Amino acid sequence: MESQLSTLLWSTKGAQPFEISQSIMLPAVLTAVFVLVYLNFQAAVYRRRKILPGRRPVFPIGSLSTWNDLLKANKQILEDSHSSSMPVAQWVFLMESVAAVKAEHVQEILRSSVSRTLSPKPLAVFAMYHIQKFMGPNSVGVAEGVEWKSHRKAIGKSLKPIYIRSLYKNMQECTGRIITWLEGKSVAGANKEYMSSERVQ
């Protein structure tokens, strides 16, 4: 009996440190992985920002933090592109990408790129969902292969300089109508404000 009791106590004492180490090990490993991923992300961003212009991305979603307001994001990209002849760095989670705003960069991308796919697969799912939110499920931003080439060809025709120049007259007329409408709104607002102030007096 005494022998069995001493064996039981030894087994219990022996198991306790192992259980404690198991409970500590998992959080420690997860923390170490997180730190390594974070440091790797920051190092990659630091190296790339020395070459390409662009805003510092937010860990872990990258440049997607600014894409909730697409107009603001595009304005920032255009601002960053003025200081360099290079494309502007963008980050989709931990995946490095670029935004091309100059004609020569767009031409090169349209000539050589045929795929929107990102890896690993979960990254592609999240990123494509975010892009579809703004561009649609069948747009050039998410299409692949032959379908993407077809979209690209259609877009290429509409972006030819000769075609854009043919629209200048329509653009000027439309702009003129918008200016007239805004001026009318401004005058109407001023008159309304004046009439309100007259009533108060």
Q: What tens digit of pLDDT does each residue of 66-86 get?
A: 877 778 888 888 888 887 788
How many other β-carbons are positioned within 10 Å of the β-carbon of residue 180?
10
Give the max Cα distance, the chain.
106
Q: What is the pLDDT of residues 20-36, one digit of tens each?
A: 566 777 888 889 999 99
pLDDT number for residue 138? 79
pLDDT number for residue 21? 62
Strands (DSSP E) along the chain, which ranges? 88-92, 95-99
Residues near 145 by beta carbon (within 8 Å), at least 6 away in sequence = 114, 115
**Cα–Cα distance between 107 and 90 in angstroms, integer?**
19
Res. 177: pLDDT tops 50: yes
What's the burial of 99, exposed, middle or buried (CB within 10 Å: 0-12/13-18/19+)? buried
Instruction: Report the run of H or E that residue 34 belongs to, with start and end.
Output: helix 2-49
Q: Tell which residue, 141, 145, 144, 106, has the closest CA to residue 127.
A: 141
- What does the mean pLDDT of the chain come to? 75
pLDDT number for residue 5? 41
How far lies 120's CA from each of 58, 146, 181, in Å? 20, 22, 50
pLDDT number for residue 9? 42
Cis peptide bond upstream of 120, omega within 30: yes
Tell me the Cα Rg of the chain: 29
Q: What is the pLDDT of residues 116-170, one digit of tens each?
A: 566 666 666 766 776 777 777 778 777 777 888 888 788 877 778 888 888 899 9
pLDDT number for residue 8? 40
8 Å CB contact between 100 and 87: yes
8 Å CB contact between 96 and 44: yes
Q: What percent of the chain has pLDDT over 90?
A: 7
User: Which of left, alpha, beta for 8 (phi over 0: left; psi -120 to 50: alpha)?
Assistant: alpha
Query: Ranked by mean pLDDT, which of 42-51, 113-122, 172-181 comes out on top?
Result: 172-181
